[in-house]
Amino acid sequence: MPVLGYVGPGGGFAILVGFLAILGGIAAAVFALAGYPVLAVLRRLRCRRPESPPRFRRVVVLGLDGLDPEILDEFLAAGDLPNFRRLAESGAFRRLGTTLPAVSPVAWSSFQTGTNPGKHRIFDFLRRAPHSYRVELASMRIDPPRRIRIGRFGVPLGRARARLHRASRPFWSILGDYGIFSEILQVPITFPPEPFFGACLSGMDVPDLRGTMGTFTCFTDDPALPDAPIGGRTIRVRRDGNRVEGRLAGPEDPLSARPGRELSIPWRLDIARRRLSIGPERVALEVGKWSGWIPLSFRAAPGLGVPGMCQFLLRATDPAFSLFAGPIHVDPARPVLPVSRPLLYSVHLALRHGRFATLGQAEDTWALSQGFLSDDEFLAQARSFHEERARLFLDVLSRNRKGLVVFVLEDPDRVQHMFFRTRDPDHPANRGRDFARYAGVFRDLYRQMDDLLGKTLAAIDERTLLLVLSDHGFGSFRRQVDINAWLLAEGYLALADGAEPGPEPFEGVDWSRTRAYALGMGGIYLNLRGREGSGVVDPGEAADRLAGEIAARLEALVDPESGRRAVRRVHLARDAYRGPYAGEAPDLVAGFERCYRSSWGQVAGKISRTVFSDNTLSWSGDHAFDPEVVPGILFSNRPLAERPPHIQDIAPTVLDAFGVAAPDHMDGRSLLPPV
């Protein structure tokens, strides 16, 4: 599969589920729940006392991923956002400084830890293994269990282990040392959830049941739909009168001795009655409307199944047939992966509110970009997920009257990515499309956020500190810049004799003649001797000289179509990052001007010969520009210090609200005025 986890569906990595591990995990969760009162008493006896009297009884942090200050100002001036207006007038409203690069995994990691990336270790969506140049997900990995082969079965010894790569402690973990309880809902880069005094439902980077960042399936007889879409599968089907049948592929078989063998479940659709049969479920479908969550069980052996859930969309029956199946989510009511901590927390939420999306990047962005979903179908999906998430948050807010509540809503980011073209008439993605029909999408989105804010304000009292923030802003993404193509043209990167760029990351590269290569949202690595597997650049003065040369030349790069510079500034890692993990960062990071971004292929480490190209995808907006171009927003129901705030300041601010001193390793400072 293509390595595209950085933008949503498509990034694949193997995950194996052992049934004994599932049952053991549930048993452990039940045992932990039974012993929770005793553990709570022991924790109270051991907990530390705050250094100062708490300023507030409760702190609520509402994260609205990607909400942009300039767009917000526009709608505030038009009178569309009364609750944001009220909060700005009674408390504070500021631009919020963001991270380098200005992307969600980096920014939300700095939000959690109060540190720069050199201390929390997340520098992008993707990272490379320096010795092998292999491209990996930066935030986490899942290691399958060892197996022993018994006949045609592969018996897992133990369970798959998920590991979070983010370093440093989140502020809610520190609060737990002081006996302060926290509920953390869908904050990015919290999978797998870490132990702390509280409950957590993980957010971005929770995989689907196949172990990917979201793989959709389209069952169709429409020849216009592509055979091998990015982030999904096309399965060609035939009709038999009013009947269509197929099989939905699921997770890897945990009991197979043959790696890669997938479990699947048969389905049948009666077209005349619009009735879908899948497993024991019988579901009535309506053309153009999502089904809601359908529980599934993928049978691996008699009496043993891997549970999951999925949504279906019957897109058309005539003249072409098209049945869309979204990614198979971990079922929160029957979790086979630790999507929450304690494990039964997701079960508890599902019992109260019904099933909800658990995939870290749930909206099917690649399906929209490739014509497998329409604009209206995507927006309906996004609205449905918003309602699920908001319902969970408002319920927790009503029950948790003291301590900390943190909730991050990611649908503003997804909708702006896919519909920024509606704010930019000249965007290449608008060619041949009716973009004017969706001119109200942004106003509706920001009003939706204002409505959620209004309900939040109604649920808090004078003893609650409310912080509302976004991790970055947004802008139009018109032109792609392939840094690897530029490095190739300028002689910094070399292909093997006779080789041509291929579809795999770094395919065809001659490392013995390559001095620099690019990966991710503007990251450039020097091929250092002693660090990279086939390094040729000497560390020290030679490396510094090469980095300076590349930075100067890249900052002068001009788009021949517009005559504009594409790169605002190239940041050197030694100046941008500090901490024990700074050596894992890219050696240089290109901070792009607005409208320019790393090309789709280059982000995943692919090579091409085209430096500049139009971005014609529905994914028409972005924020992976220079951080000065895309600050986030920060609102508070209390006055804040006058200095410019940064996302690193949120963690020490929350600690200060409870009277807890920020640890010395934190880079941020409290934004609350001195007492």
If you count them, how many residues does the chain have?
Answer: 675
- Per-residue pLDDT tens over the stretch 378-429: 999 999 999 999 999 999 999 999 999 999 999 999 999 999 999 999 999 9
Q: Where does the pLDDT of residue 448 fall: very low under 50, low under 70, confident under 90, or very high at 90 and above?
A: very high
| Predicted local distance difference test score (pLDDT) of residue 432 | 86
Residue 29, pLDDT > 90, answer: no
The average confidence (pLDDT) of the chain is 92
- Per-residue pLDDT tens over the stretch 607-650: 999 999 999 999 999 999 999 999 999 999 999 999 999 999 99
Angstrom distance (rounded) from CA 104 to CA 7: 10
Cα–Cα–Cα angle for 150, 156, 159, rounded to 5 degrees: 175
Buried/exposed 403-434: b ≥16 CB within 10 Å, e otherwise: bbbbbbbbbbbbbbbbbbbbbbeebbbbeeee
Residue 158, pLDDT > 80, answer: no
Helix runs in 102-229, H state only: 104-113, 117-120, 171-176
For 560, phi and psi rounded to 5 degrees? -65, -20
Angstrom distance (rounded) from CA 105 to CA 113: 12
Per-residue pLDDT, averaged over 328-354, amounts to 96
Helix runs in 121-276, H state only: 171-176
Q: What phi-psi label fits residue 66: left (phi over 0), alpha (psi between -120 and 50 degrees) or beta?
A: left
For 460, phi and psi rounded to 5 degrees? -115, 165
Per-residue pLDDT, averaged over 460-478, amounts to 98
Instruction: Sketch the domain layout of the chain as residue ranges.
Output: 5-210+331-473+630-657, 216-325, 478-622
Q: Is 274 exposed, middle or buried (0-12, 13-18, 19+ CB in 10 A)?
A: middle
300 neighbors 253 (Cβ within 8 angstroms): yes
Residue 42, pLDDT > 50, answer: yes
- Per-residue pLDDT tens over the stretch 588-609: 999 999 999 999 999 999 999 9
Cα–Cα–Cα angle for 463, 95, 191, rounded to 5 degrees: 70
| Predicted local distance difference test score (pLDDT) of residue 13 | 32
Tokens of 346: 């997701």
Q: What phi-psi label fits residue 18: left (phi over 0), alpha (psi between -120 and 50 degrees) or beta?
A: beta
DSSP helix/strand/coil, 451: helix
Reported as type and span, the H/E element at residue 561 is none
Distance of CA 242 to the CA centre of its chain: 40
Angstrom distance (rounded) from CA 566 to CA 49: 52
Which pTM was predicted?
0.93
655-to-52, 193, 629 alpha-carbon distances in Å = 10, 20, 29
List Cβ neighbours of 217 (8 Å cut-off, separation of 6 or more).
232, 233, 234, 235, 248, 249, 324, 325
454 neighbors 62 (Cβ within 8 angstroms): no
Residue 5, pLDDT > 50, answer: no
Q: Where does the pLDDT of residue 282 fall: very low under 50, low under 70, confident under 90, or very high at 90 and above?
A: very high
CATH number of 5-210+331-473+630-657: 3.40.720.10
Residue 164, pLDDT > 60, answer: yes
